[in-house]
Structure 1
């Protein structure tokens, strides 16, 4: 009887071993179960840089085993595009989708030809809003402002200094349009999405360090060009508008004056003179006819004897430029404005004169509105 039991036991063991061997053979035939070991960036020299998340659009390498039969990869609820030549048994290269997910799971899911799937913790790092500029930093209440940037993902809010919230008119990833509320105050704006909140470095209705403003007009030139703030074109009270034919190389005074004639002559901070690379020169302009000839010279500093060389030291703002009848903010790095200054440039406790003149090649049929010349920090402090 004992001999029979031993025989039966040996038979069962043999059958079991045969089953395991058959199972192993089946797994070998199918390549085994897929496994993710880690995710890394794709640069070979940085192969030890492992990732637990990546930004939208970033190319990543998924490293593991038995991945060759992958047919789809999803991040959250967005499907990535797979390229068969980027898939091997031990790795696959895939770009994180740029589309914004509606449902955030922080998971990557890989589907395989045989219907299997593999889930892996992986965060899509969605950018907080980036605010680059406004088409015009001065916009009247009730009108629509355009903000340029990135990662503008609805739902979002636009809040102005003072707490007023604007009405969204249109939104896409890189531009949003917002209607200006009645009680919006000068200062930075803040854009908030589900993925972060950003305050702008630029100011809405930037009233810092104004050098040319017609509220009230002061200076030597341009008094006859002042248009009252009651004009339908006005965006910030009174403004200047030049409407005349300007001949080639004709000296045509537009705005400014000596420091003792400008009420705003002491508005440039010393830091802007000492560190011009940290500042921008800005102004609002509206070309009701294209600025397509001549040129405009800007000079900030001493404006009479001993004068800088007016032919080589000023900043030349060259045509063409056409806002098609809409106000637009022009931004020029201040270090470019002062790059050629060689005479009488430095910190001036007595203030700074300003010259803005037309003088250059080519005739111009001018109809140009201008306001709010200022020198302001590039980064809001």
Structure 2
């Protein structure tokens, strides 16, 4: 959609001043040919919602992308309509002499006048109306573990950096970070993490309000494995533990590193690409990793994909507490698991440093070959966890799979 420029807004205001001084109907008489087909100068009596149950409620404001109805006279004369400096699409099928149905543009205004501009012939009329832009909505971070003084990337919606009211990012401890950049689409912020930041939610403030993240910065809730205090000892393979090359995100991590065939179902390298956590063998109690609603939970971990990944899937299998001393569940076509193969959409995948991976628990409904199991994992199955790189049912290319993983946890989505 095109955007009205400053000169045009200036011209519209001048037109309104002329109309105010000379009278609206004088303008109509001066250009009688403009309204021969449409019936006369338009006027708006009031605006309401299109929902029949709310038709008696008159409104003076609406959110972006809301459909509203203007009620008045001679509305078929209107050929253009602008909300602030954003033009709305007019569908003549929804315009009669007495009503006009239109959707508020789903674009954030560049210049806010709190008016609707209606162009009809040589005339431009206005009607007071406030377009409501939602408060910022921080939804995720490229990486939830970023050191003080380093740059973090926050993703979400409605990150408006108004020159008069600059956008702010408040980290845990009520510490304000220095905003480095905001994307043109208002959906990403780059910010320097302030010194002294602790664990907790992040708040983003703009001219339109403030919004708090559902995610936790440096999330320390409900760890299953962090390889500092919680490891996979007792399994057949407890994983290759490292803390350098690359540098860790928060202490030790597990490293998967070895060659992988691109052939579907090719033999996999257990020692290089897996670990088994069996709670009974690890000395942990017979308590599920998570006891809340799994439909509203997400598995998260930090990951650094060092080499271009081009084949197989990271398979994430939860097993009951009673399972120990066997990996028969790997390909039994009976055990649900999650599959992560981000390379499949483009042919390869690599990260520029550590990222946070989020996989909803309701996505844990696959078998080893990518087929749908028909049901998702349940809480009583959360007594052990195996990660390994293998199969996934998608043809790839021979490659070296080198990835580092840390801070595996299950947390609420909201």
**What residue is the counterpart of 1:368 in the other structure?**
403
Q: Distance between the aligned counterparts of 1:193 and 1:111, measured in 2?
A: 32
How far is the alpha carbon of 1:332 from its aligned partner? Answer: 1.2
Task: Verify: 1:227 aligned to 2:242, yes or no.
Answer: yes
In structure 2, the CA distance between the partners of 1:345 and 1:279, relative to structure 1 (3 Å rule), is closer
Instruction: Spell out, residue by residue over 1:215-257, the C-alpha distance to the aligned partner (whole angstroms, 9 max, x if none).
Output: 14632466672222x6553211111222222463235152342
Quote the Cα distance in structure 1 between the aligned partners of 2:250 and 2:179: 23
Structure-to-structure mapping, 1:81-96, within 5 angstroms? 81=88, 83=90, 85=92, 89-96=97-104
Q: Please tell me whether the aligned partners of residues 211 and 264 of structure 1 are also in contact (alpha carbons under 8 angstroms).
A: no
Residue of 336, 342, 351 corresponding to 2:363? 336
Correspondence for 1:9: none
Q: RMSD in angstroms over aligned alpha carbons?
A: 3.6
Aligned with 2:254 (options 237, 240, 264): 240
Within 5 A, what are the aligned runs for 1:1-381? Answer: 31=39, 33-41=41-49, 51-76=59-84, 78-81=85-88, 83=90, 85=92, 89-101=97-109, 104-115=112-123, 117=125, 119-154=126-161, 155-172=166-183, 173-216=186-229, 218=231, 219=233, 220=235, 225-228=240-243, 233-246=247-260, 248-253=266-271, 254-260=274-280, 262=282, 270-272=290-292, 275-300=293-318, 301-302=320-321, 303-304=323-324, 309-311=329-331, 312=333, 313-321=335-343, 322-337=349-364, 346-347=379-380, 352-360=383-391, 364-379=399-414
Q: What displacement does 1:204 show?
A: 1.1
Determine helix, strand or coil for the equivalent of 1:277: helix
TM-score by length of 2: 0.71
Mapped partners of 1:109, 1:341: distance in 2: 54
Q: Is the 8 A contact 1:296 1:358 kept in 2?
A: yes
- Is the alpha carbon distance of 1:269 and 1:252 closer, same or farther for their aligned partners in structure 2, counting shifts above 3 Å? closer
Q: Which runs of 5+ in 2 are unaligned?
A: 1-25, 344-348, 367-372
Task: Say whether the 8 Å CA contact 2:137–2:158 is kept in structure 1.
Answer: yes
CA distance in structure 2 between the partners assigned to 1:341 and 1:309 by the alignment = 17
Which secondary structure state, in structure 1, belongs to the residue aligned with residue 202 of structure 2? Answer: strand
Q: Deviations over 1:329-360 (max 9, x none)?
A: 11111133377699x97559xx9332222343
On the 8 A contact 1:166/1:181 being kept in 2, the answer is: yes
Q: Deviations over 1:47-103 (max 9, x none)?
A: 667543222233433231123443543434x14246484665434454434443455
TM-score, scaled relative to structure 1: 0.76
Name segments (4+ residues, structure 1) moved above 4 Å.
Answer: 29-33, 41-50, 81-88, 102-105, 221-224, 260-270, 305-308, 338-342, 344-348, 361-364
Bigger Cα Rg? 1
- SS of the equivalent of 1:271 reads coil
Separation in structure 2 between the aligned mates of residue 285 and residue 102 of structure 1, nearest angstrom: 38
User: In the TM superposition, what is the alpha-carbon distance from 1:106 to its structure 2 partner?
Assistant: 3.2
Cα 1:338–1:185 shift into 2, 3 Å = farther
Q: How far apart, CA to CA, are the structure 2 residues paired with 1:140 and 1:164?
A: 14
Count of residue pairs the alignment pairs up:
347
Question: What CA distance in whole angstroms lies between the structure 2 residues aligned with 1:137 and 1:306?
Answer: 34
